[in-house]
Amino acid sequence: MGITRRDFFKLSAAGSASLMAGEALASDGAQTALNPNSLGVLVDTVACIGCRKCEWACNDANALPTQDLKAFEDKSVFARHRRPDAGAYTVVNQFSDPRDPSKKYSMKIQCMHCNRPACASACIVGALQKTPEGPVVYDAWKCIGCRYCMVACPFQIPAYEYDNALNPQVRKCTFCATRLSQEGKKPACVAICPNEALTFGKREDLLIAAHSRINASPEKYVDHVYGETEAGGTGWLYLAGADFNNTELPKLTATVIPNLTETIQHGVFKSFVPPLALYGLLGLIMHSLRAEKNGKEESRHE
Amino acid sequence: MKLFFGLAAQISIVLIVAGGASAQQPQGNASMPQIQGKINCKECHTCQVPTAKEPCLKQCPTLTMTHTKSAHALVEAPDSLLIDEIADTYQAVHFNHKRHAGMAEMNDSCSVCHHYSPPGHIPPCKDCHGNETNPNNLRQPGLKGAYHRQCLSCHREWSHDTKCVVCHLPSAGRPLSATGDDSTDIVGRPHPVITTPAKKVYDTPYKEGPIVTFQHKEHIDLFGFRCVDCHHQENCSYCHDIQRPATTSKTQEQVHAVCNDCHKADACAKCHDTKERPGFSHNQTGWPLNPYHNEIDCWACHPTGKKISRISRMCVNCHAGWNQENFKHAVTGLKLDETHAQMDCTDCHADRKYDADPVCKDCHDDGRTAESAPPGIKMQHRSQ
Amino acid sequence: MNNTEAPAVMPVKYFSRGTKVLFGIALVGMAAYVYRLLFGIGAATNLDDQYPWGIWIAIDVASGVALAAGGFTTAALAEIFHKEKYHVIVRPALLTAMLGYTFVVIGLLADLGRYYNVWHPMLPSMWQGNSVLFEVGMCVMVYLSVLYIEFLPIVVERFKGRVNLPGPLHVFNRLFESVLTISDAFLSRFIFLFIIAGVVLSCLHQSSLGTLMVIAPTKMHPLWYTSISPLLFLLSAIAVGFPMVIFESILASRSFKLKPELPVLSSIARYTPVLLGVYLALKIGDLTIREAWPYVFEGSVQSYMYAIELLLGVVAPIVLLSMSRVRNSVKGLFVSASLVIFGVALNRINVFLVAYKPLYPVKTYFPSIFEILVTVGLISMLVLVYRFVVVNFPVITVPNGHVLNAAVQPERTSVVNINRIVR
């Protein structure tokens, strides 16, 4: 390998310059504050009557396979806990108050549209993204189908079209993002809810409304707005009449889920310094040991 | 020139108004109610800078008015209402207000539904609840939510059903009324009059005294209990729940809970006995009630709001105005003869001890008593 | 370099009884692969919304990448630290890495729902700097290219001055000859850049594979959920590199009836207890700091798997390879190396499958027959390609004293042989 030390440094410099171009990419995005106008929905499970009309409206708005609205009056589905899947972005489940099991609450489950979504942080191509308006949206065209979002989601929401061989997609609540932005409407589930158990608005206003509902009827609500802090805050917020531990919503701390991986990631790639330093170090070792060896060989030849 | 003056005048008006507003601000704050928690100003006020003079309060101060007791009587209420906001989608809903009000009487009356019922006129729901959720007060549901919450809070409780058709008829159809003999189908039936049993006798597993006699009527008539005082948390579903299991076993604590509201400190024998007990009689207290006292409410003599206890037997304890001149002895059941009527009270009732036997021996040596030789005519009372 | 120790093509028939069996398995695996492509992941696997990742990720990808680490550790030892005596194992290790990564990608494609979009991470418009997977993907892609470049000198050595394309392709002979000459000229000067790049890229993505599951704190069993997971992954990858080379070298010498390179293998085996020791110390220290010891004894499947991983896969080989008697016996080396490989592969399976506890499971995941067939088929295919390469390219060095006439006249030897095309 006929190369001088000077050549080596020249090459390393050229390499680092080209890598530097990617620096902005590696360091961006970690701590973006939530848009104060970010939208959300407040789910009041005390006001929810479990009529399942949101399920129908969701299927209808998202062109999912569905049945007649009347078919959703069937309450026997509450016998088991259902989860959203590729054919249903939202489902209503029932849970009972442990203090009085005859007291039943209904709870709608869908994507929480986290402030700092783990799915979007995990996504290899940015097919899942948190929009400034609030919804976490999916772009099937970008998606490669690795399903890392499903591993990452702390609410286990993204579902997959496993039975589609050619064009499978990740399916989850869209927050009716196109209805919101292009038609200026509320999400389909919110619009149909007869009891207005779903309230649509700015997340900040919803938090005020949620606390004010708790304060006005402390006998009806537990003093906890689920999603205010959970996983760093979620766009969809929940009120309940009994402890959230009895619901399907997982117990989460305020820690932003993708914080740790992003910190590790950005630490390893901080301005590409650590990889380049390693590269330089290894080059130096290689070069110096070679010189040492050559010297020995020469002396042996003499 | 004219233009200039006009402009100057306008500017000065603006300045005065602005100054006035800032001066009034602190006064406004001083009289504001103390509200707990985080509340958006816009929840109560319509303007940016409310003052004491111009608080620009909204029509419905719902925050402080939730579930206030209503001062309205059932007779004021309309018989029936037509809810036809979405008549293009569904037929108008015929709401039988009178029947619902009648059912509400079993509970907290008007305020069961009308959480804001100030004296005078009870505002209809749509006075406060707009067609959409109020964007300035996301706590308040729109009219759709307001109606449905009122109806469904009871309707789904016993039926576990949320079918639209219970209230909304999609096209020309029969008006809502009870059909068939299904006892759980209670929609459209007037609630039968609730009868109050005189007493209830329970056979309990308590060995020392299995029989408990509950004087139901006595608790209402003597102690003035309202139904809800004991039957708390009883709603439609308490009787009509189609899913409630026929027999529910209660714990010992649950069984005694209602009685313990008042009788917590009492021993078991207070209620438990080996045989059925008669109802309460004032004779047991050593103060048999005369026909007049028998007629009146317990609380006319016993202090209200306290556990009933022994009170002074002195007439003046209640009849504060009685004296020698105006007291008619006949009310005691003995009309004094002329001789005795002239005498002083203390001549017979030594030391004004009216509950003790009168003293005759001061004048009569023959050993007579008021019983053997009454000092007048015994009155015949009307029977109870 | 000593002439008697030059790498040579293996003078054996390509088809043996074992090869035919492997061909059968590979064919069945290929059929399963086609089945997945035609009917989708749902039809072929037992994956569901609760278990989005199965053995295709845990074994084909995660274990595959780890076990291909021999390529970079050997390169670092021989080329960067200039330990000349290990040059004999550089080429087999390089070939293992190259094929290993190739099959990692093939396995990954089966698992990707939209495999035709696999190139998307290359588009700057879709770069996602926050994604650990993005970094793994990019590094693997670049490293795979680097590996092919590193392999080029072997191709040059085999064909330079001997390009002889059959039939009408004859006209391209000169073109190919000049391509080889230019590559040779370029690579002899600059190959060191790629060698260093290969080591750096390996360190990056081997560790990042460990970061992948750190994004699921609520779903991971505490025995494996740690923020130093990337470091553990890197250390275990480095530690498994030499055992993998030992394992293969012994298998190859058995297969090609060569004398095992015992002195070299015993020599690199000395590093393994040290590397594994550091790994073990970190793992135990981490467990202690996180106060996760009670989970080791909780009696769950996870706790047993953890114990097996650590005792059989880490502690046992440390003990075995610390004994010179074991290091100097072929059998001892083979057993110890197998244990390390088993331990690291099990670690990857544990992290990606056993430790993963979905929030609302309906059933527990166990791979379907198709998943197993694809995985086993790919491994068989890898072995077959490996054998094909070593009988056609000078990869394996024949030890001193072994005279291989055939090596000088390769055209006599193989049935499926690239020489036919070249002749």
| Predicted confidence (pLDDT) per residue in A12-41, tens digit | 444 444 444 343 344 444 445 678 899 999
Q: At what angle do helices C330-349 and C271-289 cross, to 10 degrees?
A: 30
Closest alpha carbon within chain C to A124: C134
Residue-wise DSSP of C178-232? HHHHHHHHHHHHHHHHHHHHHHHHHHHHHHHHHHGGGG-TTTB-TTT--TTHHHH
Q: What is the mean pLDDT of chain A?
A: 86
* Reported ipTM: 0.90
Distance (Å) from the alpha carbon of B205 to chain A's nearest alpha carbon: 26
Q: Please give the single-letter amino acid code of residue C423.
A: R
Q: Is A57 annotated as a binding residue?
A: no
Closest CA to A92 of A108, A68, A112, A103: A108
**Which residues neighbour B232 within 8 Å (Cβ) at sequence distance 6 or greater?**
none
Beta-carbon separation of A211 and B38 below 8 A: yes
The whole-number pLDDT of residue B44 equals 62
Q: List chain C pLDDT tens, one digit each, 423 residues.
A: 444 467 888 888 888 888 999 999 999 999 999 999 999 999 999 999 999 999 999 999 999 999 999 999 999 999 899 888 888 899 999 999 999 999 999 999 999 999 999 999 999 999 998 999 999 999 999 999 999 999 999 998 888 878 878 878 888 888 888 888 888 888 888 899 999 999 999 999 999 999 999 999 999 999 999 999 999 999 999 999 999 999 999 999 888 888 888 999 999 999 999 999 999 999 999 999 999 999 999 999 999 999 999 999 999 999 999 999 999 999 999 999 999 999 999 999 999 999 999 999 989 999 999 999 999 999 999 999 999 999 999 998 877 655 454 444 444 333 344 444 433
**Which residues neighbour A38 within 8 Å (Cβ) at sequence distance 6 or greater?**
A115, A132, A133, A134, A202, A203, A204, A235
- Rounded to 5°, the CA angle A107-A113-A115 comes to 125
For residue C101 the two structure tokens come to 């990564």
Q: How many CB atoms lie within 10 A of CB A249?
A: 21
The whole-number pLDDT of residue A6 equals 47
The whole-number pLDDT of residue B127 equals 82
Q: How many CB atoms lie within 10 A of CB C333?
A: 26
Closest CA to C45 of C31, C55, C60: C55
Distance CA C341, CA C359 (A): 31
Q: How many CA atoms lie within 13 A of C268 on its CB side?
A: 33
DSSP E strands, B104-261: 200-203, 211-214
Q: Are C114 and A144 in contact (CB under 8 A)?
A: yes
Closest alpha carbon within chain A to B66: A216
Which domains, ranges and CATH numbers included, belong to chain C?
3-422 (1.20.1630.10)
Distance (Å) from the alpha carbon of B222 to chain A's nearest alpha carbon: 32
Q: Is the dihedral of CA B311, B316, B321, B327 positive or negative?
A: positive
Q: Give per-residue pLDDT as tens, A230-239.
A: 999 999 999 9
Q: What is the mean pLDDT of chain B?
A: 73
For residue C181 the two structure tokens come to 């000459």
Q: Is B244 on the interface with A (CB under 8 A)?
A: yes
The whole-number pLDDT of residue C163 equals 81
Q: Give per-residue pLDDT as tens, B184-226.
A: 566 767 777 777 888 889 988 888 889 999 988 888 877 778 7
Closest alpha carbon within chain B to A185: B132
| Banded model confidence at residue B52, pLDDT cuts 50, 70, 90 | low
Q: Are C46 and C361 in contact (CB under 8 A)?
A: no
All chains having 3 or more CB pairs closer than 8 angstroms to chain C: A
For residue A280 the two structure tokens come to 């330089």
- Residue listed under structure tokens 């005498």: B343
Q: Is C146 exposed, middle or buried (0-12, 13-18, 19+ CB in 10 A)?
A: buried
Q: Once rounded to an integer, what is the mean pLDDT over residues A77-86?
A: 92
Beta-carbon separation of A212 and B149 below 8 A: no
Is B74-166 in CATH node 3.90.10.10?
A: yes
All chains having 3 or more CB pairs closer than 8 angstroms to chain B: A
Beta-carbon separation of A279 and C39 below 8 A: no
Distance CA C205, CA C133 (A): 9
| Banded model confidence at residue B296, pLDDT cuts 50, 70, 90 | confident
The whole-number pLDDT of residue B110 equals 78
Q: For a pLDDT cut of 70, what percent of chain B falls above it?
A: 72
The whole-number pLDDT of residue C387 equals 93
Closest CA to C33 of C118, C109, C114, C116: C109
Judging contacts by C-beta atoms under 8 Å, the chain B residues touching residue A184 are: none
- Residue listed under structure tokens 């111009």: B54
The whole-number pLDDT of residue A14 equals 43
Q: Is A149 annotated as a binding residue?
A: yes
Distance (Å) from the alpha carbon of A209 to chain B's nearest alpha carbon: 5
Q: Is C48 on the interface with A (CB under 8 A)?
A: yes
Closest CA to A205 of C149, B171, C351, B41: B41
Q: Once rounded to an integer, what is the mean pLDDT over residues B40-44?
A: 65
Q: Is A111 annotated as a binding residue?
A: yes
The whole-number pLDDT of residue B171 equals 58
| Banded model confidence at residue B330, pLDDT cuts 50, 70, 90 | confident
Beta-carbon separation of A145 and C117 below 8 A: yes
Q: Once rounded to an integer, what is the mean pLDDT over residues A280-300?
A: 80
The whole-number pLDDT of residue B153 equals 80
C-alpha pair distances (Å), B225 with each of B221, B231, B309, C344, C417: 8, 10, 18, 77, 104
Helical H runs in A69-175? 118-122, 148-152
3-state DSSP helix/strand/coil percent for chain C, to nearest 5?
75, 0, 25
Beta-carbon separation of C133 and A257 below 8 A: no
Distance (Å) from the alpha carbon of A223 to chain C's nearest alpha carbon: 24
**Which residues neighbour C16 within 8 Å (Cβ) at sequence distance 6 or greater?**
C255
For residue C132 the two structure tokens come to 């650990």
Distance CA A277, CA A275 (A): 5
In this complex, the residue of A51, A195, A212 whose CB is nearest that of residue B39 is: A212
Longest dimension (CA), chain C: 71
Mutation to test the C interface, candidates A110, A141, A147, most C Cβ within 10 Å: A147
Closest alpha carbon within chain C to A129: C128
Closest CA to A76 of B243, B265, B33: B243
pLDDT of residue B165 exceeding 60, the answer is: yes
Judging contacts by C-beta atoms under 8 Å, the chain A residues touching residue B142 are: 196
> Of residues A3 and B26, which shows the higher confidence score?
A3
pLDDT of residue B57 exceeding 70, the answer is: no
Closest CA to A289 of C195, C77, C238, C150: C77
Q: Give per-residue pLDDT as tens, B229-280.
A: 888 766 777 777 777 666 667 788 888 888 888 888 888 888 899 888 888 8
Counting CB pairs under 8 A, whether chains C and B reach 3 or more, is no
For residue C165 the two structure tokens come to 């394309």
Distance CA B320, CA A166 (A): 99
The whole-number pLDDT of residue C188 equals 84
> Of residues B60 and B163, which shows the higher confidence score?
B163
The whole-number pLDDT of residue A190 equals 95
Give the residue range(s) of CATH 3.90.10.10 domains in chain B. 74-166
For residue B256 the two structure tokens come to 């005694």
Q: At what angle do helices C330-349 and C229-255 cross, to 10 degrees?
A: 140
Closest CA to C310 of C330, C325, C323, C295: C295
The whole-number pLDDT of residue B95 equals 85
Beta-carbon separation of A282 and C190 below 8 A: no
Distance (Å) from the alpha carbon of A169 to chain C's nearest alpha carbon: 8
